[in-house]
Structure 1
Amino acid sequence: MDTPSVPDDAPPLAVDIDGTLTDDQRALDPRVIPVLRAWPAPVVVATGKSMPYPVALCEFLAIDQLVVAENGGVVVAGRDTVRIEGDREGANAVAAAYRDAGYGLGWGEADLVNRWRETELAVAREMPLEPLVEIASEHGLDVVDTGYAYHVKSPSVDKGSGLDVVAAELNLRSEAFLAVGDSENDVPTFEVAGRSVAVANADDLALAAADHVTAASFADGFLEAVERFAAP
Structure 2
Amino acid sequence: MSGEATALADIELVISDVDGTLVRDDKSLSPKTIEAVKRLGAAGIGFTLISARPPSGLGGHIADLGLATPVGAFNGATVFEPDGTIVEAHHLGQETARGVASCFDGLDLPYWIFADGRWMTRTRAMPHVEQEIVAARQEPVVAEDLTPWLGRADKLQAVCDDPARLAEAERAVKARFSASATIAKSQTYYLDVTAPKTDKGHGVTELAKAFGIPLAAVAVAGDMPNDLSMFRVAGLAVAMGQAPDEVKAEADHVTTSNEADGLAAFIEALLAAKDERSRTG
TM-score range, shorter chain: 0.7 to 0.9
Q: What is the Cα deviation at residue 50 of structure 1?
A: 1.3
Equivalent position SS for 1:39: helix
Give yes or no for contact 2:184–2:193 (8 Å, CA) kept in 1: yes
1:45 to 2:49 alignment: yes
Q: Kindly tell me: are residues 67 and 92 of structure 1, through their superposed partners in 2, closer, same or farther at Cα, counting changes over 3 Å? A: farther
Q: Give the corresponding residue for 1:5.
A: none
Q: Give the corresponding residue for 2:213.
A: 172
Give yes or no for contact 2:75–2:199 (8 Å, CA) kept in 1: yes
Q: How does 1:77-88 map to 2 (within 5 A)?
A: 77=81, 79=83, 80-87=85-92
Tell me, in whole angstroms, the C-alpha distance in 2 between the residues paired with 1:224 and 1:62.
20
Q: Give the corresponding residue for 1:144.
A: 184
Deviations 1:22-65, CA, capped at 9 Å, x for gaps:
23444332321222234323212011111221233213432114
Give yes or no for contact 2:24–2:258 (8 Å, CA) kept in 1: yes
Tell me, in whole angstroms, the C-alpha distance in 2 between the residues paired with 1:97 and 1:201.
31
Q: What is the Cα deviation at residue 122 of structure 1?
A: 1.5
Equivalent position amino acid for 1:122 in 2: Q
Q: Give the corresponding residue for 1:202.
A: 243
Equivalent position amino acid for 2:123 in 1: E
Tell me, in whole angstroms, the C-alpha distance in 2 between the residues paired with 1:174 and 1:69.
19
Stretches of structure 2 lacking an aligned partner (at least 5 in a row) = 1-9, 113-120, 142-148, 275-281
Q: How does 1:38-187 map to 2 (within 5 A)?
A: 38-40=39-41, 41-77=45-81, 79=83, 80-87=85-92, 89=94, 90-91=96-97, 93-99=99-105, 102-105=108-111, 109=123, 118-126=153-161, 128-129=165-166, 130-131=168-169, 133-135=171-173, 137-139=175-177, 140-148=180-188, 149-187=190-228
Highest CA radius of gyration, 1 or 2? 2
Between the two structures, name the one with larger relative contact order (CA 8 Å, sep ≥ 6): 2
Tell me, in whole angstroms, the C-alpha distance in 2 between the residues paired with 1:42 and 1:226.
11
Give yes or no for contact 2:181–2:197 (8 Å, CA) kept in 1: no
Tell me, in whole angstroms, the C-alpha distance in 2 between the residues paired with 1:228 and 1:141.
37
Q: Kindly tell me: are residues 35 and 155 of structure 1, through their superposed partners in 2, closer, same or farther at Cα, counting changes over 3 Å? A: same
Q: Kindly tell me: are residues 105 and 204 of structure 1, through their superposed partners in 2, closer, same or farther at Cα, counting changes over 3 Å? A: same
Q: Kindly tell me: are residues 13 and 159 of structure 1, through their superposed partners in 2, closer, same or farther at Cα, counting changes over 3 Å? A: same
Q: What is the Cα deviation at residue 142 of structure 1?
A: 4.3
Give the TM-score of the pair, scaled to structure 2.
0.68
Greater shift after overlay, 131-140 or 65-74?
A: 131-140
Q: What is the Cα deviation at residue 109 of structure 1?
A: 2.3
Q: What percent of counterpart residues are identical?
A: 25
Equivalent position SS for 1:144: strand
Greater shift after overlay, 157-166 or 133-142?
A: 133-142
Deviations 1:112-140, CA, capped at 9 Å, x for gaps:
56869952212213263224542454343
Give the CA RMSD over aligned residues. Answer: 3.1
Q: Give the corresponding residue for 1:3.
A: none
Give the TM-score of the pair, scaled to structure 1.
0.80
Tell me, in whole angstroms, the C-alpha distance in 1 between the residues paired with 2:238 and 2:173.
33
Give 1:227's match in structure 2, choosing from 248, 255, 268. Answer: 268
Tell me, in whole angstroms, the C-alpha distance in 2 between the residues paired with 1:31 and 1:160.
27
Give yes or no for contact 1:86–1:120 (8 Å, CA) kept in 2: yes
Deviations 1:188-207, CA, capped at 9 Å, x for gaps:
22222211211111122220
Q: Kindly tell me: are residues 136 and 184 of structure 1, through their superposed partners in 2, closer, same or farther at Cα, counting changes over 3 Å? A: closer
Give yes or no for contact 2:40–2:267 (8 Å, CA) kept in 1: no
Q: What is the Cα deviation at residue 210 of structure 1?
A: 0.9
Equivalent position amino acid for 1:175 in 2: A
Tell me the number of residue pairs that the alignment of Structure 1 and Structure 2 aligns: 224
